[in-house]
Amino acid sequence: MRCFISIELPEEVKKELQKLQEDIRSSNIKASFSKGFHLTLKYLGDLTPEKVEHVKKRLSSCKFKKFEVTLDDFGVFPNEKHIKVIWVGIKPEEDVVKLQKEIDEAMQKDFKKEKQFKAHLTLARIKHVKDKENFLQFLKNIEIKKINFSVNEFKLMRSTLTAEGPVYDELFVYKQ
């Protein structure tokens, strides 16, 4: 089963991300839009049921304190000259990065460490942008509601690919 570790988002944040997707759709770019919003801390890949049990135990060693974050501005991966993903950042990033490193440490015997973790919420995967400069200016003109929210848990999730897109199931919750 395909698994990952993530932070669940409040409904208010999900609704704002959906609104932003609608704004982006109006630009007529060719893209596929994310449906299930979460902040991925670590992608684990395909795991056997035995490996999932092992991961559950390892993750239980992660300790963190509740923290607050706020939606920030748009970003793109890998860069503005070659846009493949549009995302919304969060700030401050430090506590999310600290939690991600804690998870990486707990998982280091079984999984590679993340090379360049960037806390972000994926909105769309871009297939083609004709005029990158105009599109980037278009993004800058979209107002993002700076919603503040608390993080007091993370989750081990399963992702099942379907014709309608991925379906996410919670396997285990880790509270602060």
N-terminal to C-terminal alpha carbon distance within the chain:
26
Specify burial of residue 123 (Cβ count, 10 A radius: 0-12, 13-18, 19+): buried
Calpha distance 149→7 (Å, rounded): 11
Instruction: Decide if 158 contacts 171 (C-beta within 8 A).
Output: yes
Reported in sequence order, the residue ranges of 92-137 that DSSP labels E, i.e. its strands, are 120-128
Instruction: Decide if 128 contacts 29 (C-beta within 8 A).
Output: yes
Instruction: State the catalytic residues.
Output: 38, 120
